[in-house]
Amino acid sequence: MARTLSSSYHSMDSEPHAVSVFSDLPYELFCYIILQLANDTPTLLSVCLTGKALYKEAVPYIYRYIENGRSEPLHLQLLPVLISNPKLAALVHVYHSDTIAKRHTVNARRAEGPRQIWNLTLQAIPLMINLQRLRFRDWNGLSSAQILKTARFQLIDFDWGCAFEGKELADFLATQKNLKHIVFAPDSYRCALDPEACQTVKSIAGSYATISNLLPGRSGVEHLRWMPDQGEHQYWSEDLVSGSLIGERMHRVVSLSLGGFGVRPLLPYFGSTITSLKTLELYNIDIQVNEISLLGESMLIMIG
């Protein structure tokens, strides 16, 4: 029976000393066994205790993906392990911080656990030098961009939901040479980005402020998801897109997702650029009658 996560992470910063009964088996077999268990962290933790051969193969998979929303006590146990052993921190490829951050905001008066996680996070994330995917959410007004100041990793996916970061966030994005996907949660984008930064980006998700700042000058963007800020729709008009820098780049976009807070920009706002889309995804609101004529015959339309 697999050990629970909360009882096993303590043992992961040192190898087992027992002699494995599988020591005569071919190395390729160990690789195959671990590959089949790649998404089963509790079992991998137990496998690590059976012998050095399986330990060495299992450890990279155990630390590759870290998501802190499921267990706050587990995360309080895990982060010190990463801090004390940077080699393990270097194994992390994906780090998601979402649920606990939200709990911190809601329970600000009882935030000893989340605040402790925050202090440990400031130390741990810069050690994740091979991190490729980062999702991070606001910590009750704390300057979350602190975790990016000394970062050495090069991200592929960057999903940020922290408000009022400004220059710190812009400076970080300017260092990212491999970035493919950017998501800014509504109300979180507040920085002026260097025009030469993020030239490798293929997809952008966020509010009008995000898209109008990131889309111009980045000719490789093919996928947009427009998630309106609350109240943003008050400023929409028919020249919102066609009369702005967004319109100049929309002809390169092949898929577009629209919607959030029960509203979305109307399709006529996009002018002729809407007909070049291959995929159109609408959230929360159906297609209106006056929009049907704008849809391309070969366009894939999804309504959620």
**pLDDT of 72 above 90:** no
Residue 180 banded pLDDT, cuts 50, 70, 90? very high
Residue 214 banded pLDDT, cuts 50, 70, 90? confident
Please tell me which residue, 170 or 235, carries the higher pLDDT value.
Answer: 170
pLDDT value, residue 142: 65
Pairwise CA distance, residues 126 & 146, whole Å:
10
pLDDT value, residue 68: 63
Please tell me which residue, 144 or 156, carries the higher pLDDT value.
Answer: 156
Mean residue pLDDT across the chain: 76
pLDDT value, residue 114: 61
User: What digits encode the pLDDT tens for the residues 249-260?
Assistant: 777 888 888 876
Pairwise CA distance, residues 207 & 228, whole Å:
5
Gyration radius of the chain over CA positions: 23
Please tell me which residue, 234 or 14, carries the higher pLDDT value.
Answer: 234
User: What digits encode the pLDDT tens for the residues 181-213?
Assistant: 999 876 666 667 788 889 999 999 988 888 888
Pairwise CA distance, residues 23 & 17, whole Å:
13
Residue 164 banded pLDDT, cuts 50, 70, 90? low
pLDDT value, residue 109: 43
**pLDDT of 299 above 50:** yes
pTM for this prediction? 0.80
Residue 41 banded pLDDT, cuts 50, 70, 90? confident
Residue 156 banded pLDDT, cuts 50, 70, 90? very high
Residue 133 banded pLDDT, cuts 50, 70, 90? very high
Count of H-run helices and E-run strands, the chain: 10, 10
> Cβ(137)–Cβ(161) under 8 Å?
yes
Pairwise CA distance, residues 147 & 145, whole Å:
5
Q: What is the mean pLDDT of residues 27-33?
A: 76
Instruction: Name all domains of the chain by residue range, CATH numbers in brackets.
Output: 1-63 (no CATH), 64-303 (3.80.10)
Measured CA angle at 110 (ends 105, 111), to 5 deg: 55
pLDDT value, residue 105: 47
pLDDT value, residue 3: 36
Q: What is the mean pLDDT of residues 133-141?
A: 79
Q: Could you give the residue ranges of the DSSP H alpha helices within 107-175?
A: 112-124, 167-173
> Cβ(265)–Cβ(226) under 8 Å?
yes
Least-confidence region, from 188-192, 197-201, 220-224, 225-229? 188-192
pLDDT value, residue 16: 53
